[in-house]
């Protein structure tokens, strides 16, 4: 079994960016489980499935073949053979992922691949339930967070950089809604593992956040 670093936390906390850079520093494989859930959400959207309809989601999620490859040092997510990296970060896909990931069938569909990656490689894996459900035996567990206002501002600046119009208040309310969905779902809700280190990056730059997490990983 490989070495494991589990990073959990709410949407927009910077988990993916920080986990990717920590993995690169340590020479580990980065596994973005959120991207896997987003790929499945994209599939359900394409099928016209209501993410809140548990029976319909369970009946259709098996049709999504989701695989991960690492090409030129970057994680690439394939949905039924199609590279869907460029389609995974829209608000529509994010909302569907937050709703559909609450269903046991969705989590079961992806669990095997996530555990297999951790068994075969040294990994940094981020998501909502890595330290509590996916990799409870991880050597390092981190709960990474920031205030909803701070996370909304980061998302706003990302959109601004891409030339996409966004409303800061709406983004903050969307994050608050998604936090509630993730923390109150019946299956593997978002929570801090008892042995996880709490890391708050509110007000920190990306570089400062990376160094704060790096300090925990190197203890």
Question: DSSP assignment of 41-86, as one string?
Answer: HHHHHHTT--TT-HHHHHHHGGG--EEEEEETTEEEEEETTEE-GG
Mean pLDDT, range 143-156, rounded to an integer: 96
Tokens of 123: 């990994």
Closest alpha carbon to 130 in 190, 77, 215, 214: 190
Between 72 and 97, where is the model more confident? 97
Mean pLDDT, range 206-219, rounded to an integer: 89
Q: How many CB atoms are located within 10 Å of the residue 214 CB? A: 14
69 pLDDT band, cuts 50/70/90, is confident
Mean pLDDT, range 64-73, rounded to an integer: 83
1 pLDDT band, cuts 50/70/90, is low
Whole-angstrom Cα distance, residue 100 to residue 142?
24
pLDDT in tens, 166-194: 999 999 999 999 999 889 988 788 999 99
Closest alpha carbon to 143 in 211, 199, 194, 181: 199
- Determine the pLDDT at residue 101: 87
Whole-angstrom Cα distance, residue 6 to residue 129?
9
pLDDT in tens, 11-54: 889 998 999 999 989 988 888 888 999 999 999 999 999 999 99
Residues 33 and 125 sit within 8 Å (Cβ to Cβ): yes
pLDDT greater than 80 at residue 73: no
- Determine the pLDDT at residue 219: 57
CATH number for position 197: 3.40.50.300
Closest alpha carbon to 64 in 73, 52, 50, 77: 77
Identify the domain containing residue 99 by its residue range: 4-217
pLDDT in tens, 78-121: 999 999 999 998 889 998 998 998 898 998 888 887 888 888 88
pLDDT greater than 90 at residue 201: yes
pLDDT > 70: what percent of the chain?
99
Q: How many domains does the chain have?
A: 1
Proportion of the chain in helix, strand, coil states, percent, rounded to 5: 55, 15, 30
Whole-angstrom Cα distance, residue 4 to residue 123?
5
pTM above 0.75, yes or no: yes
Whole-angstrom Cα distance, residue 19 to residue 6?
9
Give the SS3 label for residue 151.
Answer: helix
Whole-angstrom Cα distance, residue 11 to residue 183?
11
Give the SS3 label for residue 30.
Answer: strand
- Determine the pLDDT at residue 174: 93
């Amino acid at each position: 079994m490989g070495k494991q670093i589990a990073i959990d936390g709410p949407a927009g906390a910077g988990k993916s960016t920080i986990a990717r850079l920590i993995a690169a520093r340590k020479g580990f494989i980065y596994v973005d489980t959120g991207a896997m859930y987003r790929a499945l959400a994209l599939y359900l959207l394409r099928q016209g499935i209501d993410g809140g309809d548990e029976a319909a989601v369970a009946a259709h999620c098996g049709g999504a073949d989701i695989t991960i490859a690492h090409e030129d040092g970057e994680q690439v997510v394939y949905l039924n053979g199609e590279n869907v990296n460029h389609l995974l970060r829209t608000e529509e896909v994010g909302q569907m992922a937050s709703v559909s990931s609450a269903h046991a069938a969705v989590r079961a569909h992806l669990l095997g691949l996530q555990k297999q990656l951790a068994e075969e490689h040294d990994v940094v894996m981020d998501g909502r339930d890595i330290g509590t459900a996916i990799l409870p035996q991880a050597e390092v567990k981190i709960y990474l967070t920031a205030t909803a206002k701070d996370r909304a501002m980061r998302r706003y600046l990302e959109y601004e950089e891409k030339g996409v119009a966004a409303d800061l208040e709406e983004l903050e309310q969307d994050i608050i809604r998604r936090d509630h969905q993730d923390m109150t779902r019946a299956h593997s809700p978002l929570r801090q593992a008892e042995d996880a280190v709490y890391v708050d990056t509110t007000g920190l730059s990306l570089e400062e956040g990376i160094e704060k997490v790096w300090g925990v990983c190197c203890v």
